[in-house]
Amino acid sequence: MRAHRLANLARHAILLLGSATVVIPFLWMFTTSLRSRAETYTNTTVVPTSWHWENYARAWESAPFGQYYLNSTLMAVGIVLGHLVLDALAAYAFARLRFPLRTALFVLLLAVLLVPNFVTIIPAYSLVAGFGWIDTYAALIVPRLADVFGIILLRQYFASIPQELEDAARIDGCSRAGTFFRIMVPLSMPAFATLAIFSFLFAWNDFLWPLLVTNSDEMRTIQVGLSSFQGRYGTSWNYLMAGTMMATVPSMAVFMLFQRALVRGIAMTGLKD
């Protein structure tokens, strides 16, 4: 019993040490965002001697963070909705419907998953430029309305729902589409929640694509805006960290609210992003 307690104490000690390496950067980001400018350079103490909440207002004013937030939100909502609808429909077809070339098509999708996004990014960029979409919401949203990861995740979940439930509805005269919307969709809410969180985090944190397809400050997403903010205000650490906090808080909030669904999703698929 004693040895057991000692072992647990050791475990706590190591885990806490590890947690410190995770927490310290976040803590530093938070406290730096509240320091006076002078104090950012003499940051020997962890806790600021005076709290400057106005740094947030300053950061908010010195770059169009409101616009960045709006752009990121619109992009994230569009992508999440797109994934929920388009991925779910395709996943259902792969899970339950019989049609020619089903396996071949699914294997093709799996193969696409292996292709690094660098390969597609240059042609996709010139395609979007050709459509005249540069600096529009269309460029941010439309190319990412569907994704392979979501199709695989939902297909796996749909396949785990007993066929008998659908058969019963079919006997009662429900159409194929009807069984999907009335039986499968209500039963798959946990999987939809997982996919929605993954898609939101992907969209909110996405960087390279928005960096390429937006030029004007009005169309920048929060991550691209933050990166350019760093370029301009790199020496004002307090404002920069206030901006970084603003870019980080939404994804953290989503994570804290929906941690269970997220962890379950990773355990289910072993995939990320």
How far apart are CB 177 and other proteins at their closest, in Å? 6
Binding segment (CB under 8 A) for other proteins, from list 49-57, 63-71, 115-123, 182-190: 115-123
Task: Tell me if 55 contacts other proteins by CB under 8 A.
Answer: no
216: left (phi over 0), alpha (psi -120 to 50) or beta: beta
Task: Tell me if 93 contacts other proteins by CB under 8 A.
Answer: yes
Q: Which of 5, 44, 53, 162 binds other proteins (CB under 8 A)?
A: 44
Site for other proteins in 193-222 (CB under 8 A): 201, 204-205, 207-208, 212
Task: Tell me if 191 contacts other proteins by CB under 8 A.
Answer: no
How far apart are CB 12 and other proteins at their closest, in Å? 7
Task: Tell me if 11 contacts other proteins by CB under 8 A.
Answer: yes
Number of residues forming the site for other proteins (CB under 8 A): 94
Q: Which of 6, 19, 37, 218 binds other proteins (CB under 8 A)?
A: 19
Task: Tell me if 176 contacts other proteins by CB under 8 A.
Answer: yes
Task: Tell me if 139 contacts other proteins by CB under 8 A.
Answer: no
User: By C-beta, is 28 or 51 nearer to other proteins?
Assistant: 28
How far apart are CB 156 and other proteins at their closest, in Å? 15
Q: Which of 75, 79, 241, 261 binds other proteins (CB under 8 A)?
A: 241
Q: Which of 6, 115, 159, 189 binds other proteins (CB under 8 A)?
A: 115
Task: Tell me if 43 contacts other proteins by CB under 8 A.
Answer: yes
User: By C-beta, is 89 or 193 nearer to other proteins?
Assistant: 89
Task: Tell me if 256 contacts other proteins by CB under 8 A.
Answer: yes
In the block, residue with structure tokens 């939101």: 200
51-79 CB burial, b ≥16 within 10 A, e <16: ebeebbeebbeebbbebbbebbbebbebb
